[in-house]
Amino acid sequence: MQHAHRSDHTRRYPQAATRGSRSRLRHLLGSLPALILALVIVGTASATPAELGMEFEVGNLGFAHDRAPGDDGIPDDEFQLGGRFWGSYNPTDFLTVELIADRDQVLQNSITSRLKYRGDRVRFALGPSFGVINEPDQVVAPGLSAEASVDVLPRLNIALATLRPLQPDLDSDGEYRQRFDRAAISSYGDNLIVTVLFEQSRMREQDDGVTRTNRLRRYAMQAEAFEKGAPFRILVSGEYHDRSFIFENDDDATQTYGALVLGTGVSYEPTPRFGYSVLLESGLYNFGRNDLLGEFEEDAYLFRLRTGFTVSLD
């Protein structure tokens, strides 16, 4: 009888059942970061192979988070800080548990926990991601992070990654949604890896009835050169960045600028337990589009500098 009562309630109140399912899903996803953090700590303290890493970045290549509709020109003095911290460990030969805390120029703050599987030709990862402390009225914004890569040929790999919000679109002030997509194809040589990729990052938020969207579309071709047994790797990339700040529901405005970017970097691993890297992205030619059409930035130097290290604890 109790089972029949639940089924009848579900038929009469389908929205309540849906809300209950969503609530249970969010509760489950909300508990996963704490669980994975505990697993990372336990794995770090045990004999299981583990890794810790940290990155810092600074630059003025991009719009500031507080961009306003009345602002004009391509920004050149809006320096922003960012960074990332991650920890991971391998409970088995084919599984990795990781936790990532990230401060991104477009997506702002997030914490992501994932379980990763590594096969001979297939690798994938899945786990919850949470925007944190980006707006005072919404401390946490839940999402789902997923990655997959396949070796379609012995020296050719296809990789996809995505971040999707678990909540519906914006409907009140103080809310925000984070979204990220990535697609890449890599070809492996004896001493060279060439990658062609597309990325899109988007942060939407609502404030005083105005929907603000900070968006970056990145097209890149990268070449990473290395010598087997040598501690150095060199990275060179040619990129096009299409950056937009879109204002809706007020005086609609779409401020966009494109940038031709040269990336140069080097990584150094003096020991198997420690690695260091530095990457510099330089805007070679910057030009306005949409509401910034006719704007050029020729005098200022637009750049992003990123540096970091990894430590192996096995």
Structural domain span for residue 226 = 2-312
What's the structural domain count of the chain? 1
pTM above 0.75, yes or no: yes
Q: Please give the Cα distance from 289 to 200 (Å, whole number).
A: 18
Is the Cβ–Cβ distance between 178 and 167 less than 8 Å? no
Beta-strand relationship, 80-89 and 95-104: antiparallel
pLDDT digits (tens, 9 = 90+) for 219-257: 999 999 999 889 999 999 999 999 999 998 767 889 999
CA angle 235, 49, 114 (to 5 degrees): 70
Q: To 10 degrees, the CA torsion angle through 214, 53, 278, 121?
A: -80
SS (H, E, C) 108-154: EEEEEEEEEEECCCEEEEEEEEEEEEEECCEEEEEEEEEEEEEEEEC
Helix (H) or strand (E) holding 39: helix 14-45
- The CATH number for 64's domain is 2.40.160.40
**Residue of 290, 207, 288, 216 lying closest to 253 (CA atoms):** 290
- Phi and psi at residue 28, to the nearest 5°: -65, -45
Predicted confidence at residue 299, as pLDDT, reads 78
User: Which residues of the chain register pLDDT less than 70?
Assistant: 1-49, 250
Q: What is the CA radius of gyration of the chain?
A: 22
How would DSSP label each residue in 169-193? S--STT-EEEEEEEEEEEEE-SSEE
- What amino acid is encoded at 142 in this protein? P
Predicted confidence at residue 169, as pLDDT, reads 82
Q: Please give the Cα distance from 65 to 283 (Å, whole number).
A: 20
pLDDT digits (tens, 9 = 90+) for 91-100: 888 999 999 9
